[in-house]
Amino acid sequence: MSAAVPSTEPTQSVDNLTDGFHLLIDALKINGVKTIYNVPGIPITDLGRYAQAQGLRVLSFRHEQHAGYAAAAAGFLTKKPGICMTVSAPGFLNGLTALAHATTNCWPMILISGSSEREIVDLQRGDYEEMDQLAIARPHCKAAYRILHAEDIGLGVARAIRAALTGRPGGVYLDIPGQLLGQVMDAVEGQKSLIEVVDPNPASVPSPEAISRAVDVLKSAKKPLIILGKGAAYAQADDKVRELVETLGFPYLPMSMAKGLLPDTHPQCASAARSLVLKESDCVFLIGARLNWLLQHGQGKSWGEKGSKKFVQIDIEPTEMDSNQKISAPLIGDIESCATALLDAIGSNWQKPPEEWTGAVSSKVKANVEKMAPRLRNNNSPMDYQGSLGVMKELIAQNPDVVLVNEGANALDQARSIIDIHKPRKRLDVGTWGIMGIGMGSAVAAAVETGNQVLAIEGDSAFGFCGMEVETICRYNLPVCIVIMNNNGIYRGDGTNWSGGEDPSTTVFVKGARYDLMMQAFGGEGVTVNNPDELRQAIQAAFDSRKPTLINAVIAEDAGKESGNIGNLNPSSVVAQARYPQAKKI
């Protein structure tokens, strides 16, 4: 059955032949792949070189996790699988966290890893970087495939692309035993074996019954609320989503990465009245958002009285329904098809919700925005989160195409609520898992995939997970401006060692660290700023020059809260509280 011929014929002309390297590159290219996020090494070093020679953009990182986070972010931004390429065992494992992250976030990504030959791995004979990678990958992604023969490369790549994209998107693992790349076969046969995937994102249209059920529930609501999730941002049905939200006239809450789908300054945006709308609403319409921990599973104090709400949900994944609360009107389908069908069913006589409800929400928004405004204008030194982020709010409003990357605890939660996003898919952050370390990979992907300026707002701890990638940013001369919110630690910099011993507290770092010098080491711009005015000037200079820049922003050690806005998730016990009374004061 094998069309492969040995590659060792010394006198054979190669004109009519191809090999595993070229077939893999060609299979990716005919499916529209333009960029590979990569860390070279045995057995994929030459694959990267040849891919670059064949016109693909191959960006090499310093660690596979960040190449993987870049691929995951690329999947979210482009609605096409982001490709990450790694070496075997350790490189593969480094990339696997990112693959699991992509899957958890419902983003398409393909992790291609070189591996040892089956004959060696299966008998556990102790190969160089030996590991049964396929078995290890399988539980952490949507699908996992291995290609053994050159003539199957087209099939393997097509399966991976379709699995990553169709239905709920996710991560796919593609196992490439090293010898596969060197297999040689007839070039014409090889070309014929490639598959260009047709319609990997097929429309998924909800039934008319499901639509009329949803319209009935939405119509009967007195205090309706829409929650837009990052699935709605991913879907790239921006105009339809906006039309639906505006036609219905409901207040809406954007989840973190759905911010900007409609501008955060939109009159229906209820972000600044979050507690009120979650508690008081009687009908919640979820569009590409899951009722997971980020929404307290749709229950508890913040959701008001038990049983006080009905839920309507659009999701491409049927099993998402009823995963946390009863969904009275499930709409299974893609967001564009569901929104189109709903708009058709609603027609032009839609009765918007009572003014009593929308007016109450608007008043709360107005009051909270006004309350926050003066805090955002302080010029304190050292800075607090409000003064520093207030400056960045203004700069993003003036430059709405800038892609904001954001991670940390206080640096994340404060930035999310303070900085308005004005356009779709202009915010990338820690996602469903709340992972630290996505920052530099996401920043590289955002710059490469969009060509836009990137502003990465990073907690000093968060940055520590991925900081070496500043060299990558400098090497490719990317328009990335990194602001380190430097409060000398995780959550706060003023923790003490409760034993009274000499080691610092578990949550504090070297005081007064100069992260800006790291950037200078690789030829980028690096500067320390101590007040919001200096911060504004430094960011503006970075936007003007589009040079890789790192701004070390000195934040007061005591400005943050334990775990930012999610301190309630830390476990506690009466024993621990009795033994460590200091714990209560944090």
Tokens of 443: 């920043």
CA-CA-CA-CA torsion sign (31, 37, 43, 48): positive
Nearest distance, CB of residue 265 and ligand OXT, angstroms: 9
Q: Is 432 in the site for ligand ADP (CB under 6 A)?
A: yes
Alpha-carbon gap, residue 113 to 111, rounded angstroms: 6
Nearest-approach distance from CB 435 to ligand ADP, in angstroms = 13
Where are any strands of DSSP class E within 223-371? 224-228, 252-254, 283-287, 310-315, 329-332
In a 3-state reduction of DSSP, which class is residue 16? coil
d(CA 115, CA 444): 27
Among 30, 131, 187, 294, binds ligand ADP (CB under 6 A): 294
Q: Does 103 bind ligand OXT (CB under 6 A)?
A: no
Choose which of 368, 380, 530, 540 interacts with ligand OXT (CB under 6 A). 368
Find out whether 503 and 403 touch, Cβ atoms under 8 Å.
no
Give yes or no for residue 329 binding ligand ADP (CB under 6 A).
Answer: no
Kind of pairing between the strands at 184-186 and 17-19: antiparallel
Figure out which of the listed residues 98, 255, 391, 457 binds ligand ADP, where binding follows CB under 6 A: 255
Identify which range of 24-32, 133-141, 184-192, 316-324 contacts ligand ADP by CB under 6 A: 316-324
124 Cβ neighbours under 8 A, 6+ residues apart = 130
- Max Cα-Cα span within the chain: 85
| CA 339/CA 333 separation, integer angstroms | 10
Cβ partners under 8 Å of residue 304, min gap 6: 278, 279, 280, 281
487 exposure class (CB count in 10 Å sphere: 0-12, 13-18, 19+): buried
Q: Is 362 in the site for ligand OXT (CB under 6 A)?
A: no
**Residue 327, H or E segment:** none
Q: In angstroms, what is the minimal distance from the CB of 258 to ligand ADP?
A: 5
Task: Pick the binder of ligand OXT from 120, 205, 369, 468 (CB under 6 A).
Answer: 369
What is the smallest separation between the CB atom of 489 and Mg ion, expressed in angstroms? 5
For residue 559, the partner it binds in ligand OXT, ligand ADP, Mg ion, none, with Cβ less than 5 to 8 A by kind, is: none
Query: What is the per-residue binding string for ligand OXT in 373-412, x denoting contact by CB under 6 A?
Result: -----------------------------------xxxxx
Does residue 334 bind ligand ADP (CB under 6 A)?
Answer: yes
Instruction: Give the bridge partners for 549, in sequence order.
Output: 481, 525
Residue listed under structure tokens 């945006």: 269
| Part in contact with ligand ADP (CB under 6 A); list of ranges 111-119, 251-259, 264-272, 403-411 | 251-259
Chain residue whose CB lies nearest ligand OXT: 459
Calpha distance 186→209 (Å, rounded): 53
Return the number of the residue (333 or 524) whose C-beta is nearest ligand ADP: 333
Tell me which of 84, 121, 174, 235 binds ligand ADP, using CB under 6 A. 235
Q: Note the residues at the interface with ligand OXT (CB under 6 A).
A: 256, 271-275, 294, 368-369, 372, 408-413, 416-417, 430, 434-437, 459-462, 485, 487, 490-491, 560, 563-566
Q: Note the residues at the interface with ligand ADP (CB under 6 A).
A: 105-106, 168, 229-231, 234-235, 255, 257-258, 288-290, 292, 294, 314-317, 320, 334-335, 432
